[in-house]
C-alpha cells in the first residue's frame, strides 16, 4: 500500500512539473518585428467544410472573412503586429507564431503556437457579438435580407468576433511578458 501511495505521489509530482516546463518554453511574440499567422481548423473537417459555406452562393465564408478583416480586427483589439491568414493546408514559416482557431462542437477556441510550444487561450466564441467595437455596422447586415443572407451575415460577424477576441487575448498575453 505504501509503494502505491509513493507511486501516486511521484506521478502527481511529475504531472505538476509539466506546467513549469511549459512556462519555461512559453510562446513569445514580438509584434513589431514579426507576423502572426492565423489558421482555421476543426477536428471534424467534413462538418467544417460544409459549415463554412455561404447558403446564398456556396462561397467559403470563414477564411474569406478572416482574410478580409484581419487588419481591422487587429486594430480593434489593440494588436500592433502584422496578421496574416493562412489558406487551408498552408503552413506558417518555420518558428513563426501561429494563432490557431479551432471550431469544435459549436465552440471556437484559440491556441497560440510557436514550434512545439502552445499557449491555450481558451474559448473565444462565447463573446457576444454586441461586445465587438464594430457591432453597429455588423447589426445592419444581421437584420436584413433573406434567412440565408442573415445566416451568412451571422457567420461572418461571429468569425470577426472570434478573431477579435483571440487577438485581444494574444495582446494581453504579450503585455504580461
* Per-residue model confidence as pLDDT tens digits over 85-136: 999 989 999 999 999 999 998 899 999 998 888 999 999 999 899 999 999 9
Contacts of 16 (CB under 8 A, 6+ apart): none
**What is the rounded average pLDDT of the residues 22-44?**
72
Cell reading at 139: 447589426
Domain segments of the chain as ranges = 2-176
- Cell reading at 144: 436584413
Closest CA relative to residue 38, chosen from 104, 112, 129: 112
Helix (H) / strand (E) element for 83: namely strand 82-85
DSSP 57: T
pLDDT mean over 164-170: 95
CB-CB neighbours of 110 under 10 Å: 24
Q: Taking the alpha carbons of 126, 53, 59, 98 in that order, is the dihedral positive or negative?
A: positive
> Which pLDDT tens digit goes with each residue over 123-162?
999 989 999 999 998 888 888 889 999 999 999 999 999 9
pTM of the model: 0.80
Burial of 64 per CB tally in 10 Å (0-12, 13-18, 19+):
middle
Asked whether 38 and 86 are in contact (CB, 8 A), the reply is yes
Alpha carbon distance 135, 129 (integer Å): 7
Res. 58: pLDDT tops 70: yes
Amino acid at each position: 500500500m505504501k509503494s502505491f501511495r509513493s507511486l501516486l505521489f511521484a506521478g502527481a509530482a511529475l504531472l505538476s512539473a509539466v506546467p513549469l516546463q511549459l512556462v519555461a518554453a512559453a510562446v513569445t511574440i514580438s509584434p513589431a518585428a514579426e507576423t502572426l499567422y492565423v489558421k482555421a481548423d476543426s477536428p471534424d473537417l467534413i462538418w467544417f467544410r460544409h459549415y463554412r459555406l455561404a447558403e446564398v452562393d456556396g462561397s467559403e465564408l470563414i477564411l474569406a472573412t478572416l482574410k478580409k478583416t484581419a487588419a481591422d480586427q487587429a486594430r480593434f483589439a489593440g494588436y500592433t503586429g502584422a496578421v496574416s491568414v493562412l489558406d487551408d493546408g498552408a503552413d506558417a514559416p518555420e518558428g513563426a507564431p501561429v494563432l490557431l482557431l479551432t471550431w469544435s462542437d459549436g465552440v471556437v477556441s484559440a491556441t497560440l503556437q510557436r514550434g512545439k510550444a502552445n499557449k491555450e487561450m481558451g474559448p473565444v466564441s462565447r463573446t457576444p457579438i454586441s461586445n465587438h467595437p464594430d457591432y453597429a455596422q455588423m447589426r445592419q447586415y444581421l437584420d436584413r435580407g433573406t434567412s440565408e443572407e442573415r445566416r451568412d451575415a451571422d457567420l461572418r460577424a461571429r468569425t470577426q468576433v472570434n478573431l477579435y477576441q483571440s487577438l485581444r487575448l494574444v495582446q494581453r498575453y504579450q503585455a504580461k511578458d
